[in-house]
Chain A
Amino acid sequence: QQPVQSPQAVILREGEDAVINCSSSKALYSVHWYRQKHGEAPIFLMILLKGGEQKGHDKISASFNEKKQQSSLYLTASQLSYSGTYFCGTEAGGSQGNLIFGKGTKLSVKP
């Protein structure tokens, strides 16, 4: 089952904050976050594992609520370079690396 991302799109001014949510109907082992610019490859941002371990970039934070099967990505003091489409990928456990990606959240940061 594909995770649901919200919002579908968001427009920010430089310096503003944003939260992107990812929700699954299945119990999750891990949640991955990636950013993709148009026509380019997705870039890894963050992994959140069941049990609280996280791995990712220093300037990006995220949370993982295991009980609710939800994850949120927090983008603070946004920069123009943050623009792109953000995808969450969820793993329901067992099959290492077999991620199911959401449809994405398009973020546009304006000057």
Chain B
Amino acid sequence: DGGITQSPKYLFRKEGQNVTLSCEQNLNHDAMYWYRQDPGQGLRLIYYSQIVNDFQKGDIAEGYSVSREKKESFPLTVTSAQKNPTAFYLCASSTNTQTYEQYFGPGTRLTVT
């Protein structure tokens, strides 16, 4: 079955530690995205990538980093510079055609204490 996988579903870290969230897709999509979701705030774009080895900052990129070395994978690192990292993180992918609905993964809930 084609889809997007994110792991782990729940992640706990101590303040000051970097943590990497995994996102893999087998939909053969060119574009991939990372969103952060906080209660009552909707989805906010962190980074997106339209093609391998290229990515752009979204609205809230500070304190985050990404890589896109393979078409299937788009890992997100939450660095210690992110002031409020506790949130629900969603990864998505889409084709690069005009009607590019986004397919979302199940999300990772990160708690930093």
Residues of A within 8 A of B (CB): 2, 32, 34, 39-44, 47, 49, 53, 55, 87, 89, 95-104
Contact = CB atoms under 8 A, between A and B. Distances in A.
Contacts of A98: 45, 48, 56, 58
Given A41-B90, A44-B102, A47-B99, A87 B58 contact: no
B99 A97 contact: no
Contact of A44 (B31, B98, B103): B103
Contacts of B58: 98
B33 interface: yes
Interface in B29-72: 31, 33, 35, 40-45, 48, 50, 56, 58-59
Contacts of B77: none
11 contacts: A32-B101, A40-B106, A41-B105, A41-B107, A43-B104, A44-B102, A53-B99, A95-B56, A98-B56, A98-B58, A103-B42
Interface residues of B, number: 27
B7 interface: no
Given A47-B101, A96-B100, 20 more contacts: A32-B102, A34-B104, A39-B107, A41-B104, A42-B43, A42-B90, A42-B104, A43-B104, A47-B99, A47-B100, A55-B101, A87-B43, A96-B31, A97-B33, A97-B94, A97-B96, A97-B100, A98-B45, A98-B56, A99-B102
